[in-house]
Amino acid sequence: MRRRDLLAQSAEGTSAARALEPSSGWTAPLNDVDVSYSDQSEFSGCDNLTSKITSSTDGSYLAEFLLAKGYEVHGIIRRASTFNTARIQHLYADPKSHRQGRMKLHYGDMTDSSCLVKIISTVKPSEIYNLAAQSHVKVSFDLSEYTAEVDAVGTLRLLDAIRTSGLDKQVKFYQASTSELYGKVQEVPQKETTPFYPRSPYACAKLYGYWIVVNYREAYNMFACNGILFNHESPRRGESFVTRKITRSVSKIALGQLECLELGNLDSKRDWGHARDYVEAMWLMLQQSEPEDFVIATGETHSVREFVEAAFGHIGKEIVWEGAGESEVGKEKGTGVVRVKINPKYFRPTEVDLLLGDPSKAKEKFGWTPKVTFKELVKDMMDSDLELMKKNPAA
């Protein structure tokens, strides 16, 4: 039997995907495309398995993962003047004509309850992966209301759409929570029981999403899980996020297309993993007999400064730091050329200094551990951006 998945995009774009094996799921936006999966098992008692996913970077990796398992994936994409599906272009039956095979796209939006009900009622997913979000922390301070509308209320709309469609006893629901919930951290490392202290409108919106999932799980006996994922990167990461900004800029410097990179807080520390590893954990959460919340992380932390040094190291350059505060610069050893500057415009109004996750529960419950190391992650992103900039310097 083939699975049906539903994929939905994030705030930047929404898509849904459905797979026809055990059951299907539905998800929100993934940059321009989000993915939902369907997967139906003894939990739902249905013939088809469907799940839904909403996300940007994660959605494309999740779609690949589910398609490899035999799912039929349905994505939800927002209407826009341009059809931006670059991250999933390779998943079409015919990428040039956008002919759809086991991955299908539907127009929809996380701010429109009626379209969510219509899609879920039609696809009848068993698994829904909600990755849709306005996920840029700095942007959330400027677009706080919109962030809440998509990240917080959007999650509620999705849960209510499942109930309105009469699928609350069939669907397994995955909510993409975030390590930003911990914000001003109360303990190190952070685990499932660590108190939350959000430090941005994005984190506050995600906090609502987290608790409404818990509430619906307890109030309506829904199979609903929160995946508290720490930072996970990849070559498909959005260009405005710091890791991708670093690898793009360092690649341009290596090719003589750029002289200097501007960043904000170099000493912020994050637990960075690879998105490909993390989508497997999402799926594993929904294969358990009971719904639970899990921290997904590598268990080690690195600063933005370390990421910069690793990226330059990949192109054979060593950075020497001089000065302090806003006057600090990073110079190329040997030449003295300034390669990194501090720009205060990239500082957050409230900073999150350290995030370090404890993924031991996921390892104990379903055997998940990260496969890609920090060094391998940086290499993967650098190799990809070097190739991209060689082909298209204006990218």
Active site residues: 178, 180, 202
The owner of tokens 């068993």 is 126
- 360-381: b or e for each residue (b if 16 or more CB lie within 10 Å)? ebbeeebebebebebeebbbbb
- What is the secondary structure of 278-296 as a DSSP string? HHHHHHHHTTSSS---EEE
- Residue 356 tokens, joined: 């370090």
Coil/strand/helix, residue 319: strand
Q: How far is CA 204 from CA 82, 176, 199, 326, in A?
A: 31, 14, 7, 28
Structure-token pair, residue 371: 């496969």
Structure tokens at 193: 């029981």
- The reply to whether omega before 189 is within 30° of 0 (cis) is yes
For the residues of 351-395, what is the DSSP string, one character each? ---B--B--HHHHHHH-----S-HHHHHHHHHHHHHHHHHH-TT-
Residue 33: closest CA among 93, 96, 99, 103: 103
Q: Which long-range contacts (CB under 8 A, 24 or more apart) does 95-102 make?
A: 102/2, 102/19, 102/67, 102/71, 102/72, 102/73
SS3 237: coil
User: Scanning the structure block, which residue is given the tokens 């015919």?
Assistant: 94
Q: Indicate the residue type of 198.
A: P
Judge whether 78 and 49 are in contact, CB under 8 Å. Answer: no
Contacting residues for 143 by C-beta, under 8 A, at least 6 apart: 134, 201
The three-state DSSP-derived secondary structure of 133-193 is: CCCCHHHHHHCHHHHHHHHHHHHHHHHHHHHHCCCCCCCEEEEEEEHHHCCCCCCCCECCC
User: Which tokens is 70 given?
Assistant: 């035999």
Alpha-carbon span 174 to 109, nearest angstrom: 18
